[in-house]
Structure 1
C-alpha cells in the first residue's frame, strides 16, 4: 500500500484584497509541519500541489519543491460564488468578518451543490470531477509516499468522496480543515481508503499556531 497526504496550505490573507498569499503565521505553520515530518522520518517520494500562490508559498516555507502541479487541486472560487449570490455586491462583513463569512459561505455552497448559482464560473459537478481527476493522477505513480498541498474545500470533497458521503458532508468537513493540517489516505491499484483527517501534531507544543482560514 502507498500513502498519500493532503496538506491544506498555511494561513492565507483573509479579508485582504488578495487572499491568495500566506501570512507570516502561515509561513510559520508550514515550517512547523516540515519540522514534524523530518522528526518522524516521513519523506515524500513525490510532491504535488495545486497551482495557486498560497500552495507554492506553503511548499516554499516547507523548503520543498513540487515535482508537478495539477489545477484540479485548486480551491473552488468562493469569491465568485458569493458574488453570484449577492449579484456582484457581496457585503463587506461577508468578506471581512470570519463568523459571518463562514456562516454565509456554508449556505452558499449548499445552494451551489443543489444546482443553484447557475451563473457561477464553475459548477459543483465540474468541481467534483476535477478534484476526482486530480486525486486519480496523484495515485497514478510508483511513489510510495505522495505529498499534496491543496485547499480546504478540495480536502473536504476528497474525504467525503472517499467515504461515499452525501455532498453536504463536504461542507462540514471543509469548514473544519485547519491550516497545514494533514489528511492521510492509503491506496493500491486504484483503490483508496481514508486513514486520517485534519491532523495537526505539529501544533501540539505550539497551539498558538492554530488557524482555520
Structure 2
C-alpha cells in the first residue's frame, strides 16, 4: 500500500526574532527521528516539504540520519503554516491583543495557545475581517498539496512511500480532512501535535485514510525530557 508519512517540523525558535529557525533541540529531534525511521525501515521514495525554513531544516536532519540526499525534495508552499501573526493582527486591529498572546521569550505559553485556538475558531467562522488568507483559501491550498502528493505516490507505485514535512496547522487540516471531521477539529489536532511527530496515512481509492496520529518513534522514557516538545 502506498503511504504518506506526514511529519511536523522539529522545535523552532519560540520567542526569538525569527521563529522559522530550528532550535538546537530541534536539530537533535530531527536527527533522532531520522534514526528511528531508518531503524523501522521507513525509507521514503519521495520527499515533499513546505517552503518554510523550519521544514527544510527538519528534513535535512532526517536525511542526515537516514543517509538520504538532503537536497532531494520537492517544495510545495501548500504545506506552509497559516500566518498566525497576521491573523492576530487582523482580529485585534481595533484594540490590544490579550496579554501573552504573542510568542515572546518570557511569555505565557498557555495564554498564547489559548489565543491561537480562539483566533483559529473565529477565522473558521469568517469572523475576522480581511485576514491575510481566508479559511477557504487555506483549506484549498492544503487540499491541492494533498492531491499532488497522492498523484506523486500513484506514479511511485502501489508500495510507494512519501515523506512530507509541514506544520501543525496544515497537518491538522490534512488529518481532519482524511477523517471528514468538522472544521474545528483542525485546531484540536494541531494543539496535540508534538514537534517531529509523525502521522501515517494510507492512499486508498477515494483519498487518504488515517493509519496513525502523532507518533514519536524517536522518543522513549530516557529521551523524553530532551526531545518531547510542542512548540
TM bucket, shorter chain: over 0.9
Aligned twin of 1:94:
101
- Per-residue deviation, 1:70: 0.2
Aligned twin of 1:175:
191
Aligned twin of 1:13:
13
Aligned mates of 1:84, 1:183 — CA distance in 2:
32
Does the aligned pair in 2 maintain the 1:47–1:66 contact within 8 Å? yes
Please tell me the root mean square deviation across aligned C-alpha atoms, in Å.
1.4
Which secondary structure does the structure 2 equivalent of 1:203 belong to? coil
Is 1:207 aligned to 2:224, yes or no? Answer: yes
- Per-residue deviation, 1:118: 2.1
Larger displacement relative to structure 2 (187-196 or 113-122): 187-196
The count of corresponding residues between Structure 1 and Structure 2 is 213
- Of 150, 157, 165, 1:149 maps to 165
Which secondary structure does the structure 2 equivalent of 1:56 belong to? helix
Is 1:72 aligned to 2:78, yes or no? Answer: yes
Does the aligned pair in 2 maintain the 1:47–1:65 contact within 8 Å? no
Aligned twin of 2:67:
none
Is 1:122 aligned to 2:133, yes or no? Answer: yes
Is 1:134 aligned to 2:145, yes or no? Answer: yes
Query: If the length of structure 1 is used for normalisation, what is the TM-score?
Result: 0.96
Aligned twin of 1:108:
119
Aligned mates of 1:79, 1:59 — CA distance in 2:
25
Does the aligned pair in 1 maintain the 2:78–2:142 contact within 8 Å? yes
Does the aligned pair in 2 maintain the 1:136–1:190 contact within 8 Å? no
Does the aligned pair in 1 maintain the 2:48–2:165 contact within 8 Å? yes
Aligned mates of 1:18, 1:91 — CA distance in 2:
22
Larger displacement relative to structure 2 (161-170 or 198-207): 198-207
Cα deviations across residues 178-206 of structure 1 (Å, max 9, x unaligned)? 00000000104452110000000211141
